[in-house]
Chain A
Amino acid sequence: MTLLRNGYVTGAVLGALWTFTMAVMVAVAMSFVTGDAFRPSLLLSLGLGALAGGASIHGRAIAMGAAGVLAALGLLGAGPVQTAETGPLAAVMAHVALAAATGAGLVKILVGARAGPLTRHEFEAAVICFLTGFGYVFFTAIVAIPFYVMVMTSLKNQQQLVQNPLDFSLDLSRGWGLFDSYVELMTTFNFGSYLWTSFFVSILTVALTLAFSIPGAYAVARLRFRGAAVFSRSILLIYMVPMIVLALPIYIGYSMVGLRNSILGIVLIYPVTTIPVALYMLQGYFRGLPAEVEEAGLMDGLSRLQVIWKITLPLSLPALASVSLYVFMIAWNEFLLAFMLLDDPSKFTLTRGIASLNSSEIPRQHLMAGSVIATVPIMAIFLGLERFMTRGLTAGSVKG
């Protein structure tokens, strides 16, 4: 431990790890952009990184110098990223980007380090700084890559995809032809109507869920009656019953009643899957509202229902917004019930429509275009109202 806390050792170890992280990041990013082979070299990046890290503890200027050496070595073919099989411009870009990212990172990580033994605080600060940087790179990569692949695949054609699956560069000369998959989905695959059905079903689900869960949540949160605790527990329990267990009898029941293959059947069933969640979230919020305001309303002659309508609901608009958003998201993303209950292509919801695209006869860029169509609206709504979403999700269960 004391050995590790020596400035040179800390610098070398963190430098090696950081340089390797950056090498992988630059190689993956450049490969995805250009489609060429960028190879991160494990041995070279660790070795050179250790040297650069060890040098960087002597100050900013020397760190910059080390980064410059990295770039030069890279161009000569002995850097952390091997670019023998790529275009010259891309190679220069990769090496410069790598050197800049590595240098800037090392300066930041090792700002408190110096030659000789470090104190515990200095050592941990450097490690935390490295972990933070690594964390940002790691999380951004794992989140962004799938979505990048989804969008880019939807803009390509079959031939390009088979030729080089790594090449996500866009052929801008195709102009509007880039959006061929979307046009085809909207025209021949009826996705406009699926979009509308999904929207309609989700909005109805939100309305029905609120209509049922607001009175229920209020009763559980405010009114005293025997069985309130048991009720609130059983709501949570119902929340945990797996959908597939319910889906089977619902499928049988719907088959016998003739509700299968109807939007009505879907609209009947979706709110029930969301009411427990909504009730649980709302009662958490209602509990947090000051009871005195409501009591003042009661004293002034309002009935309980008027109190709910005129005092509680206006006060809980933020919670209502987040619950609505969450319920909308559940209904929009719901797949299992739609998949089991809908067979008629004219009545599909969006998720069911995408499932029907999953066949070997339909090219995969259509599948991805369908996924983008389903993802973009929910993402847009969510990013616009992110504040409500985060607060709402945690409101019901985390007392802060």
Chain B
Amino acid sequence: MTEAIPPKGAGPLARREARLAWGLLLPTIAIVSAVVVVPLLAIFWISVKPIGLADLRPPAPVVRENLRGEGEDLRVQYRLRNSSRDVAISGVTLSDSLPKGLTVREPDARCEVEGTAVFCDLGDLEPGGRHEIEIFVTAETATDPLGDLAEASPPRLTGDAPNVLTNFVFTFENFIRIFDGGEFWGVLGVTLFYAVFGTIGALVVGLFAALLLDTSFRGQGVLRGLYLFPYVAPVIAVAFTWVILFDPFSGSANALLLRMGVTESAINFFGDRPLALIMVTVFEIWRYFPLSFLFILARMQSIPEDMYEAADMDGASPFQKFWYLSLPQLLGILSVLFLLRFIWTFNKFDDIFLLTGGNAGTRTLTVNVYEQAFAVSNIGAGAAVAVVIFACLLLFSVIFFKVLSREEGL
């Protein structure tokens, strides 16, 4: 009798299923890699290039065309200029067609004229350099409309300039620059403070809120909806509200504290050094406690009721039930939430950017990307900071997936 042997490898059905799966995934993979993977590679590329904001517009020749002079002296004048002050442009050419009514008398030495078509080969243009071409002409009609006509047909220019983005000049200047001095470690410290305390705070406050709403009563749905408001509202709206509420000169919070006699003089909540960082962390807790509250509540409501009944039979008090039953059950979701929120908070940009703009000791790594790239106009340095963030993210996600595998099923 032959033994039954299970089939090895993928059968035709399994292969067809896999093909269908990849077919269904293909659009997603394509678009996500186009918009996520390509920019990530680009970030690595840019981070080792000496590139500023101004280099995004590659150097090009700029021209002005005029009809000048009268009679013998009548001439079409082209004034060329290199738009860049640092980079030379090579192989500059200019081509234009003169309006009807103008005949060329004497072209510039660098130009060839055929009928009304003008072509000039100008060679190289130094950084910040200029060229002037004059073509003497005679006019058959009045010169003013002819001048307008001449200016109406802009000349075409060509020229090659090295593009910093695509050439092979590399530098570690960006990384040296961001790691130089104590600034980087200060920024990293602020980021870690913000991420650690923002995450823990949001978890603790969320846990408290979830415990509150774990009982069912009338109006529970309304309260749950209300408590989610900070998370649902647009960040820009709530951030500006906080800024106005805590304004040092005309904010309601300061007015309230002054009236109540809590403080003698107005407090600059978002402008003083240690306080601003605490305030943005509090904002983070305020804005994201609803999220952890939601997740914790969902997990709480799925804890089987009979465990609590058994505990009741054994005479456990409410705090004991919380400490010995609920908390161990919630530990899984709490650890996953902690890591997830930690990563997100670490990556958070909008909140701090809107509240303080990264001033008063609240500059985190993400705000630093923006500062370097747009405020200092050094895109390369911004990209270098982004690379550092990405490296941190990879590190965290390794830890995250380890924990997630342990808590599999969550």
Contacts and interface: CB of A to CB of B under 8 A. Distances in A.
Given A164-B255, A248-B373, A39 B261 contact: yes
Interface in B280-328: 286, 291, 294-295, 298-299, 301-302, 317-319
B401 interface: yes
Interface residues on A, range: 35 or more
Contact of A240 (B32, B57, B354, B393): B393
A301 interface: no
Contacts of A124: 317-319
B232 A276 contact: no
A304 B20 contact: yes
A398 B236 contact: no
A264 interface: no
Contacts of A279: 28
Interface string B1-32: 00000000000001001101110110110011
Given A142-B286, A245-B390, A37 B40 contact: no
A212 B27 contact: yes
A375 B234 contact: yes
B146 interface: no
A124 B319 CA distance: 7
Contact of A398 (B232, B245, B260, B298): B298
Contacts of B35: 246, 250, 268-269, 272
A299 interface: no
Interface stretch (B104-112, B116-124, B381-389): B381-389
A271 to B, nearest CB: 8
A374 interface: yes
B368 to A, nearest CB: 10
Select the residue from A147, A168, A244, A397 with max chain B CB neighbours within 10 A: A244
B240 interface: yes
Contact of A225 (B18, B318, B353): B18
B66 interface: no
Interface in A149-166: 149-150, 153, 161-162, 164-166
A139 B209 contact: yes
A231 B21 CA distance: 11
A110 to B, nearest CB: 16
A37 B232 contact: no
A99 B393 CA distance: 53
A224 B18 contact: yes
A216 B251 CA distance: 49
A290 interface: no
B182 interface: no
B229 interface: yes
B42 A400 contact: no
A394 to B, nearest CB: 4
Interface in B349-375: 349-350, 353-354, 366, 369-370, 373
B145 interface: no
Interface string A176-187: 000000000000
B24 A219 contact: yes
Interface string A207-238: 00000110110111001111010010100011
B226 interface: yes
Contacts of B382: 248
B260 A37 contact: yes
Given A31-B256, A120-B317, A149 B244 contact: yes
A39 B251 CA distance: 18
B227 interface: yes
B241 A149 contact: yes
Given A39-B260, A146-B241, A252-B379, A335 B236 contact: yes
A271 B230 CA distance: 23
B142 interface: no
A139 B229 contact: no
A135 B207 CA distance: 11
A398 B234 contact: no
Contacts of A383: 225
A253 B224 CA distance: 42
Interface in A246-268: 246, 248-250, 252-253, 255-256, 268
Given A143-B230, A275-B28, 19 more contacts: A31-B256, A31-B260, A37-B260, A125-B318, A143-B226, A146-B241, A150-B241, A165-B254, A166-B255, A216-B27, A216-B28, A225-B18, A248-B382, A248-B383, A335-B354, A351-B236, A371-B238, A379-B232, A386-B228
19 contacts: A37-B260, A124-B319, A128-B318, A135-B208, A143-B230, A218-B24, A248-B39, A248-B43, A255-B57, A333-B235, A336-B353, A351-B234, A364-B244, A371-B241, A378-B232, A382-B232, A389-B228, A393-B291, A398-B295
Interface of A: 27-28, 31-32, 36-40, 120-121, 124-125, 128, 132, 135-136, 139-140, 142-147, 149-150, 153, 161-162, 164-166, 168, 212-213, 215-216, 218-220, 223-226, 228, 231, 233, 237-238, 240-246, 248-250, 252-253, 255-256, 268-269, 271-272, 275-276, 279, 304, 329, 332-333, 335-336, 350-351, 354-355, 358, 364, 367-368, 370-372, 374-375, 378-379, 382-383, 386-387, 389-390, 393-394, 397-400
Top 7 nearest A-B pairs by Cβ distance?
Answer: A242-B347, A371-B237, A400-B302, A225-B18, A249-B39, A215-B24, A249-B42
